[in-house]
Amino acid sequence: MTLPALGWQGLVVLATFGISLLIATYCTYAERVIAAFLQDRVGPDRAGPFGLLQPLADAVKLFTKEEFFPAGANRALFVFGPCLAMVTALMSSAVIPFGNFLQFGDTIIHLQGIEINVGMLYVFGIVSLGVYGIMIGGWASNNKFSLLGAIRAASQNISYELAMGLALIAVLMMSGTLSLREITLQQSVAGEWHFWNIAKQPLGFLIFIVCAFAETNRTPFDLPECETELIGGYHTEYSSMKMGLYLFAEYINVFVASAVMSVLYFGGFNFPFQYELRDWLVSSRGLELVTAQNIITILGLVGLFAKIFGFIFFFMWVRWTLPRFRYDQLMRLGWTILIPLAIFNIMLTGGLITFGIIK
Partner 1 sequence: MSPLFLFLSFVALLSALGVVLAKNPVHSVLFLILTFFTLSGHYLLLNAQFLAAVNIIVYAGAIMVLFLFVIMFLNLNEETEPHKPALAKFAAAIAGGSLLLILVAALRNVNPAGYDPANFDSQIGMVDKLGMVLFKDYALPFELASILLLAAMVGSVMLGKRETGERNF
Under the rule (CB under 8 A), what is the footprint of partner 1?
Answer: 74, 77, 116-118, 121-122, 124-125, 128-129, 131-132, 135-136, 139, 147, 150-151, 154-155, 157-158, 161-162, 178, 326, 328, 331-332, 335-336, 339-340
- Which residue number, 121 or 231, has a Cβ lying nearer to partner 1? 121
State how far the Cα of 226 lies from the Cα of 136, in Å rounded to an integer. 18
Distance of closest approach, residue 131 Cβ to partner 1, in angstroms? 6
Of 341, 106, 327, 304, residue with least CA distance to 225: 327
CB-nearer residue toward partner 1: 146 or 294: 146
Element (H, E) at 112: strand 107-112
Residue closer to partner 1, measured from CB, 317 or 335: 335
CA gap 287, 228 in Å, rounded: 61
Nearest-approach distance from CB 94 to partner 1, in angstroms: 13
Minimum distance of partner 1 from residue 150's CB (angstroms): 7
Min. distance of Cβ 65 from partner 1 in angstroms? Answer: 28
Cβ proximity of 221 and 153 under 8 Å: no
Residue 356: which region, alpha, beta or left (left: phi > 0; alpha: psi -120 to 50)?
A: left
Q: How far apart are CA 54 and CA 44, in angstroms?
A: 7
Q: Give 162 or 301: the residue with its C-beta nearer to partner 1.
A: 162
Taking the C-alpha atoms of residue 79 and residue 20, their distance in angstroms, rounded to an integer, is 22
Q: How far is the CB of 182 from partner 1 (least distance, A)?
A: 11
Give me the least distance between CB of 85 and partner 1, in Å please.
Answer: 14
CA distance 185 to 197: 11
* Pick 34 or 84: Cβ nearer partner 1: 84
For partner 1, the closer CB: 212 or 304 = 212
